Every structure is written in C-alpha cells, then in structure tokens.
C-alpha cells in the first residue's frame, strides 16, 4: 500500500494560553504540596491542633520567638525547595510537570523574539533566568511584593508575561497547529 506524500503539519510557536498557564501552576502546586512538602505537612499537623482556626494558629505561632524563628526557618527552606523544583525541571526540559501536562514550555524570550517564525522549542535557558523568574517564591521583603505584582503583569501585558518573566527575559509558549 502506498501513502500519499502529504505536506508536513504546519505549526508555529506562540504565547501559551492564560488558562493553561494557570492550570499548570496549580498542578505544580498540588504536586509540590503532596510530594515535596509532605514531611512539612505532618510537622505542622503536630504543631497546630486540628480544631484551630487560622487566627488561633497565628496567635499560637507568634506567641514565642522560638516558634517564630522556627516558622521563619521552615518557610525559607520550603521556598528553596519550591525554587529548586522549578529550577531543576525547567533547566533540563523547559517544563515542569504541570507544564508537561498542559503542553506549555518556558523559553528564552530573546531567542524567540529574534526568530518569530520559530517552529521548535529550545532550552538555552540559563540558571540565572530561571532563578529570576522564580523569585516570587522567596518569602523575604521585597520579593513578597511580587505575590501581587507578578501575576498582575500577566493580565495586563500583550505577551502575557509576568513581571519576573520580563526581568528574566523568559516567556511561556505553546505549539499551535494551523490545521486546528
């Protein structure tokens, strides 16, 4: 049986859809919470009684410098682990698990700006770029300001880039097929 010599699928790379990015982020957060931060969860369950409201838990944890020092150390370690999750996955594959499922990629905005007709991803991302785009997870001033500013930029920029993405010269893209 002979096959027709059909033309190759025509594709191009463009900014990822917003909902896909948000979904990828939530998937990543669920995975981090379930797997990476699992030991910390049991630690906090031991510290805070089950029937405590948020305000009661806050009052309890701020009751002594011992606890506040402990909480500060734990939050710092957690943020380092989260940054490591994104860094280790994105530097090797340009994707985290959430992005893999949503089929979106992190790319170097400078490369993809130069070749707007690009049809393939490349992971020429540098470690500093990935660190910079994940600064939002560091729970220290002034990075905490990014918790609000960073996602806001995504909604108000043409390229849907977060503030840290603009600073790190990266963007999240996906492959579009012209036949779709």
Identified binder of other proteins from the candidate list 70, 154, 159, 174, rule CB under 8 A: 70
Least Å distance, CB 3 to other proteins, is 25
Q: Contact at 8 Å (CB) between 11 and 81?
A: no
Structure-block tokens of residue 29: 């957060």
Q: Per rule CB under 8 A, is residue 23 in the interface with other proteins?
A: no
Q: Which of residues 45-64 bind other proteins (CB under 8 A)?
A: 46-49, 52, 56, 59-60, 63-64
- HEC string of 58-84 equals HHHHCCCHHHHHHHHHHHHHHHHHHHH
Whether the CB-CB separation of 91 and 127 falls below 8 Å is answered with yes
Spatial CA neighbour of 154 closest among 3, 10, 13, 17: 17
Q: Is 11 in the site for other proteins (CB under 8 A)?
A: no
Grouping H, G, I as helix, E, B as strand and the rest as coil, residue 176 is strand
- Distance, in Å, from the CA atom of 87 to the CA atom of 121, rounded to the nearest integer, reads 18
Q: Write the CB contacts of 122 (distance below 8 Å, at least 6 apart in sequence).
A: 107, 108, 111
Closest C-alpha to 146, from 156, 135, 155, 157: 135
**# of chain residues touching other proteins (CB under 8 A):** 44
The nearest distance, CB 139 to other proteins, in angstroms, is 15
69 near other proteins, rule: CB under 8 A: yes
Residue 35 binds other proteins, judged by CB under 8 A: yes
**Minimum CB–partner distance for residue 159 and other proteins (Å):** 21
Determine, following the binding rule CB under 8 A, whether residue 8 of this chain makes contact with other proteins: no
Query: What string marks each residue from 73 to 112 as x (binds other proteins by CB under 8 A) or -?
Result: xx--x---x--xx--xx--xxxxxx--x----x-----x-
Q: Residues interacting with other proteins, by CB under 8 A?
A: 31, 35-40, 43, 46-49, 52, 56, 59-60, 63-64, 66-67, 69-70, 73-74, 77, 81, 84-85, 88-89, 92-97, 100, 105, 111, 120-124
């Amino acid at each position: 049986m002979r096959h027709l010599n059909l033309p190759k699928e025509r594709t191009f790379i463009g900014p990822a859809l917003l909902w896909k990015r948000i979904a990828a982020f939530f998937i990543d957060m669920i995975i981090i919470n379930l797997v990476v931060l699992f030991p910390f969860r049991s630690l906090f369950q031991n510290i805070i009684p089950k029937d405590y409201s948020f305000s009661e838990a806050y009052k309890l944890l701020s009751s002594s410098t011992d606890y506040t020092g402990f909480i500060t150390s734990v939050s710092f370690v957690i943020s380092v682990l989260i940054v490591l999750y994104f860094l280790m996955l994105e530097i090797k594959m340009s994707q985290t698990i959430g992005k893999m499922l949503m089929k979106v990629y992190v790319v170097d905005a400078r490369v993809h700006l130069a070749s707007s007709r690009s049809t393939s991803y490349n992971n020429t991302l540098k470690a500093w770029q990935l660190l910079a785009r994940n600064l939002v997870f560091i729970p220290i001033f002034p990075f905490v300001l990014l918790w609000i500013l960073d996602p806001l930029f995504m909604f108000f920029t043409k390229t849907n880039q977060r503030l840290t993405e603009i600073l790190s010269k990266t963007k999240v893209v996906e492959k579009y097929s012209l036949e779709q």
